[in-house]
Amino acid sequence: MYLYPVLYTGQCMHKPTTFLILLLLLLLGSRVDSQTNGTLGNRFLNNWSMSISGGPTVFFGDIKEFKVLPATSPINEIRYAGTFSLNRQLSHIFMLRAQFLFGQVAGEKVKYKDGSLCNQYFESTLFELNINTTINFSNLIGRENPKRFFFVYGTIGAGAANWITKKRDITTKAIIATDGSWSSINPQLVIPAGLGAYFTIKNKVNLGLEWTLRSLTVDKLDATGGGYPYDSYSLLALNLTYNFDKPANGKLSQASPQKQIGPPPPQPLLAAEIAVEKQKEQAAKAQLANSKLPAAVPVKDTLMPKQNVLVPDTTIAGETLEVDTAAAIAPKKGISYRVQVFAFKDNTYSAEQIKEKLRLRQTVSKEYSGGWYRYTIGSFQDLTSAKKLMTQLRSSKEIPDAFIAKYVNGKRATPAPPHTMKHTKYSKGKIYYRKPSHKK
């Protein structure tokens, strides 16, 4: 089930750099297109992550009671080690890791194979530095799938290990032999290989389990020669990986839509509500046809909203309206004022829908002008009354963008030419208008 390193040829033992060169060529030659479940960046600083892991170690060599399983008495052979890794994702299959390990291993042997008494054990403190690659079997076999969150992978690499070992008598605890010291470093080639699996958590964090067999090219770790030609030890580690530059949800963020004038649009309607609204619109069109009203001719509106705040409505008369007759306000002669509560580019909502969604008590009037469907309430001959309603809507109804629109003879006034406009400022609760010019 597990990957076992078969790299104990004489060439690899005497020329470990050959293996490292082949490994780097394999990794650098892989195509950089996409990571385990996302898109890779093209720059060197992209696609980095770091990992920490830890778990039990088991030694395999001359001083070991059982062939595979660890003994627990009279000496417990189970020890622990931890790792820290700096990783870079090269493709959706390969990842390169620089890993540092620090921990302990131990072993005991009560009797030799012939039955004679051995009664020895050893304890070793070791540290290791290696470069390894992970091969994502899930993406290699099943192809890349952005929705996949569970991955199985293999790992293989090469590095250097050093240790300080003391072999003792089980009964007397007296030191029998040693190997290595803190004052002198004598690194030896180590080849880690194994299998692992991990879950992706919100694309930023990976939680996994990894088993590796770390094989040495010498027989010195237990300070005992003969028997096993090469010592080795395994590490079963729970690991946690943090991905630096992946988005939290695994998707690129979308651009924010342009801010809509007025309050947020109502929620989409159900199919039954849409059918009812279509019937109302058809009835309204039939009523307009029977009354032989002239067709509405939209006039180009130069007051297209391009900013997030409302500007003063400096207008004059002369714009054609298309009125929602289901909620229309009878036009009045002279100058009148209405309060606009909502505007939308598409003919999606009726006046009654806006009234229900915004929880308004007043009748809502719908009209089309300048490429916008506008919704207003009230019709006042004096500006003071219109300001009072506007203030109430801004406070109680939480419609901060409500403003006053001016009408002349029932028609919404159009913007004045730029050279005739007064430079005015907008403040809360106040609307400034250009005084209409009078011909002599």
How much is the pLDDT for 170?
93
With cut-offs at 50, 70 and 90, classify the pLDDT of residue 61: very high
How much is the pLDDT for 257?
40
How much is the pLDDT for 178?
93
pLDDT above 50: residue 311: no
Q: Which helix (H) or strand (E) holds 354?
A: helix 351-357
Give the tens place of pLDDT for each residue, 138-170: 989 987 777 788 999 999 999 999 999 999 999
Within 10 Å of residue 279's Cβ, how many Cβ atoms? 10
Which residues contact residue 165 at a Cβ distance below 8 angstroms, ignoring those fewer than 6 apart? 122, 123, 124, 178, 179, 180, 220, 221, 222, 223
pLDDT above 90: residue 208: yes
d(CA 332, CA 169): 111
d(CA 48, CA 32): 14
Comparing 3-7, 192-196, 280-284, the range with the smallest average pLDDT is 3-7
Relative to beta strand 372-380, strand 150-169 is: unpaired
- Show the tokens assigned to 390: 């506007």
How much is the pLDDT for 327?
39
Compare 363 and 27 and report the one with higher pLDDT. Answer: 363
Residues 192 and 156 sit within 8 Å (Cβ to Cβ): yes
Query: If DSSP codes are grouped into helix, strand and coil, which group holds residue 279?
Result: helix
d(CA 130, CA 191): 8
Give the tens place of pLDDT for each residue, 70-83: 999 899 999 999 99
- Show the tokens assigned to 73: 């008495």
Comparing 160-164, 272-276, 388-392, 407-411, the range with the smallest average pLDDT is 272-276
How much is the pLDDT for 184?
84
Residues 139 and 150 sit within 8 Å (Cβ to Cβ): no
Residues 373 and 346 sit within 8 Å (Cβ to Cβ): yes
Amino acid at 232: S
The DSSP symbol for 325 reads G
Domain ranges of the chain: 10-243, 271-420
Compare 180 and 7 and report the one with higher pLDDT. Answer: 180
How much is the pLDDT for 135?
95
How much is the pLDDT for 39?
59
E-only strand ranges, 217-363: 232-243, 315-316, 335-344
Amino acid at 167: K
How much is the pLDDT for 18?
52
- Whose tokens are 């011909």? That residue is 439
What is this structure's pTM?
Answer: 0.51
How much is the pLDDT for 166?
94
Average pLDDT over residues 242-266: 52
Q: Which helix (H) or strand (E) holds 395?
A: helix 383-395
Average pLDDT of the chain is 75
Pick from 84, 121, 85, 82: nearest CA to 103: 82
Pick from 80, 58, 231, 64: nearest CA to 161: 231
Average pLDDT over residues 128-147: 89
d(CA 146, CA 207): 18
State the fold for domain 10-243.
Porin (2.40.160)
Average pLDDT over residues 163-192: 92
Comparing 113-127, 193-207, 218-232, 391-405, the range with the smallest average pLDDT is 391-405
Q: Could you tell me the sign of the dihedral formed by the alpha carbons of 144, 146, 147, 151, in that order?
A: positive
Superfamily (CATH H level) for 271-420: Sporulation related repeat (3.30.70.1070)
